[in-house]
Chain A
Amino acid sequence: NAGVMQNPRHLVRRRGQEARLRCSPMKGHSHVYWYRQLPEEGLKFMVYLQKENIIDESGMPKERFSAEFPKEGPSILRIQQVVRGDSAAYFCASSPAGGDYGYTFGSGTRLTVV
Chain B
Amino acid sequence: AQTVTQSQPEMSVQEAETVTLSCTYDTSESDYYLFWYKQPPSRQMILVIRQEAYKQQNATENRFSVNFQKAAKSFSLKISDSQLGDAAMYFCAYRGRGETSGSRLTFGEGTQLTVNP
Contacts and interface: CB of A to CB of B under 8 A. Distances in A.
Q: Do A and B bind each other?
A: yes
Interface stretch (B14-22, B37-45, B64-72): B37-45
A91 interface: yes
Given A99-B95, A102-B35, A45 B106 contact: yes
Interface in A41-66: 41-45, 48, 55-56, 58-59
A103 B105 contact: yes
Interface string A76-114: 000000000000010101000011111111111010000
B45 A59 contact: no
Contact of B44 (A35, A101, A105): A105
Contacts of B107: 35, 42-44
B78 to A, nearest CB: 19
Interface residues of B, number: 23
B91 A45 contact: no
A48 B104 contact: yes
Contacts of B4: 42
A105 B45 contact: yes
B33 to A, nearest CB: 7
A69 interface: no
A102 B103 CA distance: 11
A60 to B, nearest CB: 12
Contact of B104 (A45, A101, A105): A45
B104 A107 contact: no
A78 B8 CA distance: 34
A100 B104 contact: no
B43 A107 contact: yes
A105 B107 CA distance: 14
Q: Pick the 9 closest A-B CB pairs, nearest first.
A: A105-B45, A42-B107, A45-B104, A48-B103, A56-B103, A102-B47, A43-B107, A42-B109, A107-B44
Interface of B: 4, 33, 35, 37, 42-47, 50, 91, 95, 100, 102-110
13 contacts: A43-B91, A43-B105, A44-B107, A45-B104, A45-B105, A48-B104, A58-B100, A59-B104, A98-B102, A104-B47, A105-B44, A108-B43, A108-B44
